Amino acid sequence: MDLKTSKKRKIASAISVLAAMLLIIINVKAFFEDGVLSGIGLLIFALVLTAVMGAIILFRPKFSKGDGLRKRDYNKIFSLIWLFAAPFLTLILVECLNEVAIWQLNPLILLGNYAFYLMLFGFVFALCNRIKWSVIITSSILYIFGVVNHFVLMFRGSPFIPMDFLAAKTAMNVAQSYHFTFTYNLIISTLLFVIVILLSCSADYVNRDIRKQLLYRGSVLVSVAVVMFTFYRTDLFTNMGIKADLWNQSRGYRNSGSAVNFWLNTKYLFVDEPKAYSADKVNEIAEEVDSQDVSAKPQTTEKPNIIAIMNETFSDLSVINDFETNEDYLPFWRSLTENTIKGNLYVSIHGSGTSNSEFEFLTGNTMAFLPAGSNAYELYIKDETPSLVSTLNDQGYTSQAVHPYYPNGWKRDEVYPLFGFKNFFSIDDFLNPQIYRKYISDRSSYEKIIDLYEEKEEGEKVFLFDVTMQNHGGYDTQYDNFEETIQLVNPQGDYPKTQQYLSLIKESDNAYKELIEYFSNVDEPTIIVMFGDHQPKIEDEFYEELYGKDLSDLTLEEQQRRYTVPFMIWANYDIEEQEIERISANYLSSLLLETAGLEMTPYNEYLLKLYETLPVINAVGYVDKDGNYYDYDDASPYTDLLDDYKMIQYNYLFDKTNKVSNFFSINGEKSALLAPRNSILG
């Protein structure tokens, strides 16, 4: 090292020490004036560490010409320490930009974030064999990510996610209307980043042993490859609970770290093209659907109004096993038999993920063919998309959606217009509603449906879609505004969550009774379909008592019971009563159209025929018409049917260039669809 280089490093180290001390003084002052700020504890620690590292360089001993070996050892020790310290400092500055109180993170989560950063730094070091450049390159990339995330948070209130790359052009256009300002977090993190870069200039260790280089590089690259393969090609991480918070990305970034959550989201950025997929193959399948069968369906003389209710966490837990309560929690539901189709609806989620059931119902697609843990609304609905809504709109319906909660949940405010809803009424559109616990009640939600019905023009046909909120989980707090009326008799365990949940279901039943009574007295033909989105997240011990075994020991058939909710199609005019043992959510809208005597798309016809063979297809597995349960890894005679369905869904969602649009629309050209209906699916 020449004298000039040594002086430059000492100057850089001196600047680092002075800057770190200045930032410490600023933050300590802020600490005493304003209380604990985001990450203040660890931020001060990080700054102290940088000051110490700078001082080590600034005041390191002078080596004579004969001390070359000692100098190399000294540089090696400092550089290796810096290779482990720099990831932690970079983690601090990135989370400071994310406005996260990192010192409040769960220790295991903090350790996991550090391990992730260490893997990134180690990977770059394995590529370039220069600690200095590995730190400079990796820290710079992470700093840029942190800054981008910081401004995205500032502008839209949600973090930067991989899917934003798909809308980069739009984002650039929108960004022109925003004013960029320097925040306290941005200034502090930028200064810390500068310090990291300056100190990295002194980490000049290079591993010149070829064998050690190969050993290190090989071990690092293999380790990274194993982690990447496990993450992207298996569900191990998801099953361990290591997944993006798709319901609330901001919460996920705050609770689990921004860079880690960004990485977790990449799993859902793209969906693999099915094997042997081609648009021509989808066309072949489409051409096997007889268009004449669509028109041959009995048509109603007067189109009915259609009301669809996806009731939050509505379920009947006796589907798992019988249990006793002090009174029936679903008396009206069980009593309603005239002009009804009732049964068990199989969904793809348990405890959360509401909009995935919504997606299956409105589109006819299944979550079975999408990555585990993904959310269709958040990730895959980006353009105008054919759905039950557009099918009804094409037949003259006015479609409106209601959800008595925040409109941006699951991006409904963006997705609903793409489906074709004319209006979307959310929590802000409810005036003095009834509140149970902290959510608007089903009764108030149904009153909104009645108001919209009464406001329609004479002769106008409406499709009203209501996603309720009353029964949403957590059930572990007692509320003065909600009386719990249902108590467990057998089993008699201490299950307060279950009892609150069942009491809420009783209120749902009461509200549904009032809704049915109202439309029973309406002259216009009206059909109401109601179903639950998933079962509740209550005490595992209660479920285990119903099963008589640990949840980890459930068979596939027993597991499917946890994904079963009730559904009902009711009409205020004569329809054929049915009791359906099992049907999955992807078929329900097609059944609704058939029951209403309305025109269906070829896709609806395809689904109804597929239903005859495989009445259940969900994320858990599938069930055939004989009641045999299958996992997707099982050998079965239905592989070809599933492959065809998967290709159709891929074309529907992802093949924008070769989309077989006429298959998903009633307005498409149908004259080419001439093959006999029985040729499809066998």
Q: Alpha carbon 92 to chain centroid distance? A: 27
The pLDDT value given to residue 182: 74
> Looking at this protein, which amino acid is placed at residue 441?
S
Question: ∠318-503-439 over CA atoms, to 5°?
Answer: 120
Q: Compute the distance between CA of residue 382 and CA of residue 365 in angstroms, rounded to an integer.
A: 16
Mean pLDDT over each residue of the chain, to the nearest integer: 83
- The tens digit of pLDDT for each residue in 665-682 reads 987 543 232 222 332 333
DSSP secondary structure letter of residue 461: E
Does the pTM exceed 0.75? no
- The tens digit of pLDDT for each residue in 104-123 reads 678 888 888 999 999 999 89
Q: Would you place residue 14 in the very low, low, confident or very high pLDDT band (cuts 50, 70, 90)? A: low
Long-range contacts for 480-484 (Cβ within 8 Å, ≥24 apart)?
481/435, 481/436, 481/437, 482/436, 482/437
- The tens digit of pLDDT for each residue in 472-499 reads 988 988 999 999 999 999 887 789 999 9
* Lookup result for tokens 């064998």: 211
| Range list of H helices, 157-209 | 168-175, 184-200
Q: Alpha carbon 373 to chain centroid distance? A: 6
Q: Would you place residue 78 in the very low, low, confident or very high pLDDT band (cuts 50, 70, 90)? A: confident
> Is 90 exceeded by the pLDDT of residue 15?
no
Q: Compute the distance between CA of residue 297 and CA of residue 275 in angstroms, rounded to an integer.
A: 34
342 has which bridge partners?
568, 579
Q: Compute the distance between CA of residue 78 and CA of residue 561 in angstroms, rounded to an integer.
A: 59
CB 152 within 8 A of CB 159: yes
CB 389 within 8 A of CB 421: yes
Cα torsion through 254, 256, 259, 262, rounded to 10:
-90
Please count the CA atoms within 13 angstroms of the CA of 409 that sit on its side-chain side.
19
Q: Would you place residue 590 in the very low, low, confident or very high pLDDT band (cuts 50, 70, 90)? A: very high
Q: Compute the distance between CA of residue 404 and CA of residue 467 in angstroms, rounded to an integer.
A: 8
Q: Which H or E element spans position 357?
A: helix 354-363
Sequence-ordered list of residues with C-beta below 8 angstroms from that of 65, at least 6 positions apart, any chain:
none
Q: Which two tokens stand for residue 165?
A: 């790359």
Delineate the domains of the chain, giving CATH numbers in brackets: 3-268 (no CATH), 279-679 (3.40.720.10)
